[in-house]
Amino acid sequence: MVATERDLSLANIVHELKHRKMIRTNDQLTLHLAVQLVFMLLGWLTMLYDPKLDPDKDRLQIETVGKVSSRLLRSQALHSHDQNFEQVHQPLTHMFRIFGNIIPQPDLTVDPSVLSQQDCTGYLMVSYLSYHTLAKVAKIKIEWVDSLSLHLEFVESRRVLKVFRFPSFCQLVYSAKGNQTFLSRLFASRLSLHEDPFANPTNMEPREFLREVLLSYRLIFGQDRRAWKAFRKLWKRTDGVFGDGGAKACDPLLERLCGHSWQDEIQLYEELDAHDVPNHYSPSQDFPFLGRRLLRVQDFTKMQNPQDWRVLWSDRRDISSFGRHNLAVNGVHPSLTDIQNVVRFYTFSGVFATLFVTILVGILQIVIAAVQLAASYEQNRLQALSLHQSVT
């Protein structure tokens, strides 16, 4: 029923369960409890939202992350964490829209004819989105979440990037080919409300979204050696446990995707038909679901200026990819910001190298002077000893 019924609502599901004698609702209280239970089950089934385990009476509630003020709870995906029962008879797609963008949709599709006109300012750069750059240069922290709808949501005021911590779920559902799943029905219903002249319906399936989620781990962690090494340190420090002060165990696949080179998981990426591993991606072509979120993080990273020499030395934005862009591969040209970052890095490297050589030469001069002094002292000692022996 969940996978095949169109315009399904919470009330329909509860009614069907009652008809099949799978639940009993003797009064209004138990009926409302059944509605809340079904709402929770749908959240756990789809992982699109994290239902609250102890909701208030006659309320549908989504769990909030941490104890923060209501102002900081504002989200691009979730507009509300609490709703009454007025929407239980509405189709699930309409009810979810009250909470926000729980059902993902491509929000970055463009006319293919303008793709060739883009410069690198419109591309996703691995050097800007690497976890090493995010942590060292932009001082962004990772917040591991249980909701797919929150994946890669960036809270600029807190410098927090939310990352879904159950990639095994994405791999499992992606492997289940076909359009008869409950997620497929939800996405199809959401598609009927989506108006985009350049949108491709075949790219709006849940498998495409889950594919993007899995590829985002490669983009942020797996393609940069310093990034997955930094994740390893985080993994060891937390003993492979994230969330709620260590109360929740982590997905083993997360450690494999984020704590190792992408080449170690090449079989997985081949299953995702992601053979090419470029140093830049088109947000509209490669990440139509998540591209806008990634661009927001990249724009924030671009605006950051190192405040001390250690951060400046760690800053590799555009260094690894500048050479290719300078050759205008695929029509991609470096922006002024890219060039400035490269010039700044090499200027600092030149100054640092000059300072290092100067210090090294100074140390060598001191060592040579010390050796000469020691040799002179030994020579004088031998002369004095020889003179003393001749006198006696």
Q: What is the pTM of this model?
A: 0.75
Render pLDDT for 230-264 as a digit per residue (tens, 0 to 9).
999 888 877 666 655 444 667 889 999 999 999 99
Query: What DSSP state is assigned to residue 73?
Result: T
pLDDT, residue 282, reads 92
Dihedral sign for Cα atoms in the order 6, 7, 9, 14 = negative
Q: What is the per-residue pLDDT for 120?
A: 46
User: Residue 41's pLDDT is what?
Assistant: 93
pLDDT of residue 64: 78
For residue 310 the two structure tokens come to 């250690």
**Amino acid sitting at position 286:** D
**17/1 Cα distance (integer angstroms):** 10
Classify residue 86 by its DSSP letter. G
User: Given this model, what pLDDT does residue 390 score?
Assistant: 78
pLDDT for res 119 = 44
H helices within the chain, ranges in order?
Answer: 10-19, 28-46, 92-99, 126-129, 131-136, 167-175, 182-191, 206-217, 225-237, 252-258, 266-271, 283-286, 291-302, 309-314, 322-326, 336-391
The whole-number pLDDT of residue 262 equals 94
Closest Cα to residue 278, out of 190, 218, 192? 218
Per-residue pLDDT tens, the chain, 392 aa: give them. Answer: 555 566 789 999 998 888 888 888 778 888 999 999 999 999 999 999 999 999 999 899 998 765 444 554 556 778 888 999 988 999 898 899 889 889 888 875 544 444 444 444 578 999 999 999 999 889 999 999 999 999 999 999 999 999 999 999 999 999 887 666 778 778 877 666 555 444 555 556 888 999 999 999 999 999 999 999 999 988 887 766 665 544 466 788 999 999 999 999 999 999 999 988 998 999 989 999 999 999 999 999 988 876 664 555 555 555 554 444 443 444 455 555 555 555 655 665 677 678 888 898 889 989 998 888 888 888 888 887 787 777 76
